[in-house]
């Protein structure tokens, strides 16, 4: 006598069920679009990205153009700007000018370029490096102890102190800042990846792959790596947010990107002295910074809720 589930009818039912399921959100993309946090965070970030890319076309002037006559003007001040060819154009300082007469609006818009580059570069680099180390250290047992002790060591270094040390050792610049921020992020990614690898490596399907003779690199790429993608995307957004923030902090402290390059942190550092009289120097970059971080974090939360429902339930 045959059980119902083993008959060919069962397979028919299967396909009917999956056909019926099409109307529900099935693909990851559909699920993401339905999540309000992902939508909000995503839209804000895209707008920020476009702003950064299109900075020269958004009514900005040269952000390092110094004009002592027009220093410390309040937002909304109008004036004529003399261009290199001698002609004059009327401009409005929407966010006022700083103590050297530079246009704060242009500086904030150009500053978004640096912030986003730092955020994305740190996120991508730390995930790439952390993923590689984590996969290898999680899967190859004898390496694990050594690698994790090195990671413990790295975690013990305060990030900002490391940045200050690196700045005084090497040229202060974008590359050094990215390097200084991404090194302390590595151990966190490694730990995350390693914990996933440690649980996946015990799965019977990985053991099945071993017993059919799949080589270690192939096992890592085929069977283990796909399980780390979703948590890493989520982790990546948090790293990105914290990197943008740390870059601003470093610039504010004067140990980050050189002051002649406009970054949100630099603008705020320079506006600090006259904050009581002319708060706009601090206010506008501050708003941009806060809004970007908020967007990235909200996007990360939304991604976590959709990509890792179990974790969302635990936290909720």
Residues that bind other proteins (CB under 8 A): 1-3, 5-6, 8, 10-11, 13-14, 17-18, 21, 24, 203-205, 207-215, 218, 222-223, 226-227
**Residue that the structure tokens 């790295």 belong to:** 154
Considering the complex, what minimum distance in angstroms separates the CB of residue 57 from other proteins? Answer: 43
- Report the residue number, 158 or 226, with the smaller CB distance to other proteins: 226
Task: Report the SS3 class of residue 63.
Answer: coil
Distance CA 126, CA 190 (A): 9
Considering the complex, what minimum distance in angstroms separates the CB of residue 222 from other proteins? Answer: 7
- Report the residue number, 169 or 212, with the smaller CB distance to other proteins: 212
- Report the residue number, 68 or 213, with the smaller CB distance to other proteins: 213
Considering the complex, what minimum distance in angstroms separates the CB of residue 141 from other proteins? Answer: 11
Which helix (H) or strand (E) is 56 found in, with range? Answer: none
Considering the complex, what minimum distance in angstroms separates the CB of residue 31 from other proteins? Answer: 15
Q: Are 199 and 223 in contact (CB under 8 A)?
A: no
- Report the residue number, 148 or 255, with the smaller CB distance to other proteins: 148
Torsion of CA 209, 211, 212, 215, to 10 degrees: 60
The whole-angstrom distance between residue 171's C-alpha and the CA centroid of its chain comes to 24
- Report the residue number, 190 or 209, with the smaller CB distance to other proteins: 209
Spatial CA neighbour of 285 closest among 112, 120, 121, 118: 112
Which residues partner with 90 through β-bridges?
80
- Report the residue number, 16 or 287, with the smaller CB distance to other proteins: 16
Considering the complex, what minimum distance in angstroms separates the CB of residue 98 from other proteins? Answer: 53
Considering the complex, what minimum distance in angstroms separates the CB of residue 6 from other proteins? Answer: 6
Residues 6 or more apart whose CB falls under 8 angstroms from that of 198 comprise 138
């Amino acid at each position: 006598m045959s059980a119902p589930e083993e008959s060919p009818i069962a397979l028919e039912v299967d396909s009917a069920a999956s056909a019926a399921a099409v109307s529900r959100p099935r693909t990851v993309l559909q699920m993401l679009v339905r999540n309000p946090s992902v939508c909000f965070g995503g839209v804000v970030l895209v707008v920020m990205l476009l702003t950064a890319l299109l900075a020269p076309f958004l009514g900005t002037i040269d952000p390092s153009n110094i004009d002592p006559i027009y220093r410390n003007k309040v937002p909304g001040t109008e004036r004529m700007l003399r261009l290199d060819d001698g002609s004059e154009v009327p401009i409005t300082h929407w966010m006022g000018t700083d103590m050297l007469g530079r246009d704060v609006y242009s500086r904030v818009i150009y500053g978004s370029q640096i912030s986003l580059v730092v955020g994305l570069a740190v996120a991508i680099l730390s995930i790439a490096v952390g993923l590689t180390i984590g996969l290898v250290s999680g899967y190859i047992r004898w390496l694990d102890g050594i690698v994790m002790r090195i990671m413990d060591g790295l975690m013990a270094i305060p990030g900002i102190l490391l940045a200050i040390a690196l700045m005084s050792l090497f040229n202060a610049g974008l590359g050094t800042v990215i390097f200084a921020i991404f090194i302390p992020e590595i151990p966190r990614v490694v730990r995350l990846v390693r914990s996933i690898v440690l649980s996946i490596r015990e799965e019977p399907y990985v053991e099945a792959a071993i017993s059919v003779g799949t080589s270690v690199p192939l096992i890592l790429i085929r069977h283990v790596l796909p399980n780390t993608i979703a948590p890493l995307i989520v982790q990546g957004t948090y790293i990105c947010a914290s990197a943008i923030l740390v870059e601003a902090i470093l610039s504010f402290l004067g140990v980050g990107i050189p002051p002649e390059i406009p970054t949100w942190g630099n603008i705020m550092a320079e506006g600090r002295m006259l904050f009581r009289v002319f708060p706009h120097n601090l206010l506008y970059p501050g708003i941009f910074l806060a809004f970007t971080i908020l967007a990235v974090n909200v996007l990360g939360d939304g991604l976590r809720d959709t990509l890792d429902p179990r974790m969302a339930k635990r936290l909720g």
